[in-house]
A = this chain, B = another copy of it.
């Protein structure tokens, strides 16, 4: 029973890897840098996008793919920006799938003007477990950890933190009101992903958002430079 289960899981992941690779090829062809954007529910992913997009929308063609179990609340919040937005709902799965996978992203690609985009941000379902397991064809993984969630999350959800390329430590404006030890979080981060890049940000006050915007901008420039060298 256990062996059979592992085989089924392996098949699912193999199929996902194949489709993720096809997505990757489409993104490369269109010259789009793709961010898989992940966190717990309510860590502030959408609020951070509301802050960072205005710093980039005049310089980059930006697309957002919203992944939610149900509804399109986040897409509605982003509708006022100069963005291509598409919504994926995962609720046709039982109770709702807990993450996006490569195939869901692939199904949504025709609804996005890939050729006009430089940057595609895929806002995954709020969850610290399942989304980490499924590559979607992304260039990088950016995750948000809110200081309100406690210092121990990297130790409790290691795969998510281990596979992140950048950790945004959000709601930093609330620190004076919390019993929270930043050093403990730093130690936990380094225990599961030594030296992983991190930025302290606040979607509320805007702290750290310009630095994150430059990081995203640099991501798209790296791609263009690599294309110039190759092509």
Cβ of B157 and Cβ of A93 under 8 Å apart?
A: no
Q: How far is the CA of A171 from the CA of B42 in the complex (A)?
A: 13
The B-contacting residues of A in range 93-140, CB under 8 angstroms, are 93-98, 125-130, 132-133
- A65 within 8 A of partner (CB): no
The B-contacting residues of A in range 49-108, CB under 8 angstroms, are 68-71, 73, 93-98
Per-residue 0/1 for A143-176: is the Cβ within 8 Å of any B Cβ (1 yes, 0 no)?
Answer: 0001011101101111100000000000101100
Mostly, the A contact residues are: loop
| A204: chain B residues within 8 A (beta carbon) | 179
Q: A69-B157, A156-B71 are in contact. Are A149 and B93 (CB under 8 A)?
A: no
- Contact partner of A127 (CB less than 8 A), chosen from B42, B94, B127, B155, is B127
Q: How far is the CA of A8 from the CA of B96 in the complex (A)?
A: 15
Of the candidates A152, A155, A157, the one having the most CB atoms from chain B within 10 angstroms of its own CB is A157
Q: How far is the CA of A158 from the CA of B96 in the complex (A)?
A: 9
Q: How far is the CA of A173 from the CA of B178 in the complex (A)?
A: 10
Cβ of B126 and Cβ of A42 under 8 Å apart?
A: no
Q: How far is the CA of A204 from the CA of B68 in the complex (A)?
A: 31
Chain B residue nearest to A130 (CB atoms) is B98
A143 CB to closest chain B CB, in angstroms? Answer: 12
Interface size class of A (residues with CB under 8 A): 35 or more
In the complex, the count of this chain's copies comes to 2
Q: A41-B149, A127-B127 are in contact. Are A156 and B73 (CB under 8 A)?
A: yes
- A13 within 8 A of partner (CB): yes
A66 CB to closest chain B CB, in angstroms? Answer: 11
Cβ of A41 and Cβ of B153 under 8 Å apart?
A: yes
Cβ of A129 and Cβ of B98 under 8 Å apart?
A: yes
Chain B residue nearest to A5 (CB atoms) is B93
A206 CB to closest chain B CB, in angstroms? Answer: 14
Q: How far is the CA of A168 from the CA of B41 in the complex (A)?
A: 16
- Contact partner of A153 (CB less than 8 A), chosen from B42, B153, B174, is B42
Q: Can you name 15 extra interface pairs (CB under 8 A) apart from A6-B94, A127-B128, A129-B130? A: A9-B93, A9-B94, A13-B94, A40-B41, A40-B42, A41-B149, A42-B146, A71-B156, A73-B152, A95-B133, A96-B129, A96-B159, A148-B174, A174-B177, A174-B178
